[in-house]
Amino acid sequence: MKKRLDREFFERDVLEVAARLPGKFLVRKYPDGRIEQFMITEVEAYRGEEDMACHASKGRTPRNQIMYERGGLLYIYLIYGIHWMLNIVTGKAGQPQAVLIRGLEGLNGPGRLTRRLDIDRAFLGEDLCRSESIWLTEGVNSFKIITAPRIGIDYAGEYWKNMPWRFFVEKTSG
DNA sequence: GTAAGGATTGGC
DNA sequence: CCAATCCTTACT
């Protein structure tokens, strides 16, 4: 198995982390010992209190406090009362940043992938650098990374809505 | 205590 | 296009 991504990787600025995530592998080990891994195909960066699309834009709350912790921890939240969102905290402690995992190979949609991987609130605060249930590893570098504006954040205003902070691997014909 | 809104999805 | 569905937050 490939080398697990370490603290140093996640403690960089969210834009650096997000740009490097497509092509990496997300590994999930279930309670029965079964292991699955998927290549990350699409992510979005949410960067600090100034980013009006970021959950930290209104300051620290009980919900987003994990975003202020050090990089490598998981930020999990429920959206529309239905879907669990899988986010990776990035940067040094005190910088509220996170990367939303929007797509895995063969699994499109942030809500659908968490359901498929059986990820919910129980993973809030899980440490990707130490967990025995979920972690990331080095991946493949053969993909071109495309950037585009983030999805579903009309409320954030034109400026933040247009930031090209979505990163995904170029579609392949096969 | 009440009310509004949402980093989505799936169905029409 | 539009509703489902319920937690978080911002009020009173």
Q: In Å, what is the separation between the CA of A165 and the C1' of C11?
A: 33
Whether A76 and A65 have beta carbons less than 8 Å apart is answered as no
pLDDT tier at A172 (50, 70, 90 boundaries)? low
Q: How much is the mean pLDDT over chain A? A: 95
- Domain presence at residue A134: yes
Give the residue whose CA sits closest to B9 at C1': A111
Mean pLDDT of A56-63: 92
- Domain presence at residue A26: yes
Rounded Cα distance between A127 and A84, Å, is 17
Q: Give percent of chain A with pLDDT exceeding 70.
A: 98
Whether A89 and A70 have beta carbons less than 8 Å apart is answered as yes
Footprint of strand B on the protein (CB under 7 A): A 44, 46, 53-55, 67, 75, 78-83, 85, 87, 98, 100, 109-113, 150-153, 155
Could you say which nucleotides of strand B lie within 7 A of any protein CB atom?
5-10
Give how many domains chain A has, as a whole number.
Answer: 1
Q: What is the pLDDT of residue A148?
A: 96
- Domain presence at residue A12: yes
- Domain presence at residue A125: yes
- Domain presence at residue A145: yes
Q: Does the reported pTM lie above 0.75?
A: yes
Q: Which domain holds residue A104?
A: 7-169
- Domain presence at residue A174: no
Q: What is the CATH number of the domain that holds A94?
A: 3.10.300.10
Q: Read off the pLDDT of residues A61-70 as tens digits, 9 standing for 90 and up.
A: 999 999 999 9
Q: Is the CB of A63 under 7 A from strand C?
A: yes
- Domain presence at residue A2: no
Q: Read off the pLDDT of residues A136-151 as tens digits, 9 standing for 90 and up.
A: 999 998 899 999 999 9
Rounded Cα distance between A3 and A32, Å, is 23
- Domain presence at residue A77: yes
Q: Which nucleotide is nearest to A83 (CA to C1')?
A: B8
